[in-house]
Amino acid sequence: MDPLVYILDFIVLVGIFSIFSLSLNIEFGFAGLANFGKVAFVLIGAYTYTLLSNINVPFFLCLIAGAIASAIIGFFVSLPTLKLREDYLAIVVLAFGEILKIIVKSEGWIAGGVWGTPVYPAISIAGSSTRLDMAINIALVYVCLFLSFLLLQLLTNSPYGRVIRAIREDEVAAEALGKNRAKYRAQVFALGSAIAGLGGGLFAQYLQFIDPYMFAPMLTFTIWIMVLLGGPANNWGALLGAGMVQLFDRGANIAKDYVTLPIDPGNLQYIIYGVLIILVLLYRPQGLLKESQVKTKAGESIFNGRDFAKNKGD
């Protein structure tokens, strides 16, 4: 394989997984929603993209439609659980992911059932090289990543971001201060699902093929590791986590060609992931990067302006 293509491929996947981990971070990191079915919303995005692009809908509309479909379904799936404790949402979306996988497996008319279906690349230039295709993909993925990141940075550094963190910390207290926790949670879950759906569309068009087996629960937990490792409630942490886990993935893939292990490397990788999560939870639950503080212009104005000076004078 062309080493440059290998590196470019890595860059694309880091971008796509960064989108996934950002989407989990807004749900779990900021709002305290345990989405154990992230893969379901990636799947919805991927399948919506595929079905629409196969009837020649322009790629950007396919991406948007995937995000919207994910958001709507996410909203309805989360709805019965939003007034209950966090564990109900976790169980319901985990189960939903499994059901969804069964549906796309059993229904052959949806994108080929178990056999999967090819996906046409979003932008194809006649006679282009693999390198050029990669470059186009990088541009597309990183534009989407940049927009998602910007959106989430704005959101988390606003009064809204403060409210969802407050609900995460103590839902009863937030409710007693006039915050409708079910409404906020539904919004965040829909938004997170939309971003995951966007990522799913990009994933499908980059791999140019989808089948139900690509959307195993393992994908969900890979995304969880990224967020836990990088630092929940920190958007930079989500990016860092995605990069690190992808790097580890690549490293493991290269290493297994040179090192003979008593354990099958495919199994070993997930055993290591599991142990890693437990160790992180035990010894560094805040992840590598600490939670970012809410930054709105107001807070700064208080402390850069006259008020702070006056305080010092007291």
Angle at 262 between CA 257 and CA 267, to 5 degrees: 75
Task: Output the six-digit token pair for 314.
Answer: 């007291």
User: 3-state class of 118 per DSSP?
Assistant: strand
Nearer to another protein, 2 or 107 (CB): 107
> What string of H, E and C letters represents the secondary structure of 218-237?
HHHHHHHHHHHHHCCCCHHH
Counting contacts by CB under 8 A, is residue 304 touching another protein? no
Lookup: tokens for 247: 């790097």
Which is nearer to another protein, 55 or 282 (by Cβ)? 282
Q: What is the DSSP letter of 25?
A: I
For the bound state, the minimum distance from the C-beta of residue 219 to another protein, rounded and expressed in Å, comes to 13
* Per-residue x/- track, 79-118, another protein (CB under 8 A): -xx--xxxxx-xxx-xxx-xx--xx-xxx-----------
Compute the radius of gyration of the chain from its Cα atoms: 21
Task: Find the shortest distance in angstroms from Cβ 186 to another protein.
Answer: 10
Judge contact between 39 and 219, C-beta under 8 A. yes
Q: Is 125 in the site for another protein (CB under 8 A)?
A: no
Minimal CA–CA distance to 191: which of 34, 60, 49, 75? 75
Site for another protein in 189-218 (CB under 8 A): 191
- Mapped onto helix, strand or coil, the DSSP state of residue 7 is helix
Closest CA to 94 of 77, 113, 73, 76: 77
Report the residue from 228, 240, 242, 289 that binds another protein according to the rule CB under 8 A.
228
Q: What's the rounded Cα separation, in Å, for the pair 267 and 289?
A: 29
- Which of 274, 284, 304, 309 touches another protein (CB under 8 A)? 274
Q: Per CB under 8 A, does 160 bind another protein?
A: yes
Q: Which is nearer to another protein, 119 or 185 (CB)?
A: 185
Choice from 61, 303, 304, 309 touching another protein (CB under 8 A): 303
Q: Which of 5, 136, 155, 252 binds another protein (CB under 8 A)?
A: 155
- Asked whether position 278 contacts another protein by CB under 8 A, the answer is yes
Site for another protein in 8-37 (CB under 8 A): 28, 32, 34, 36
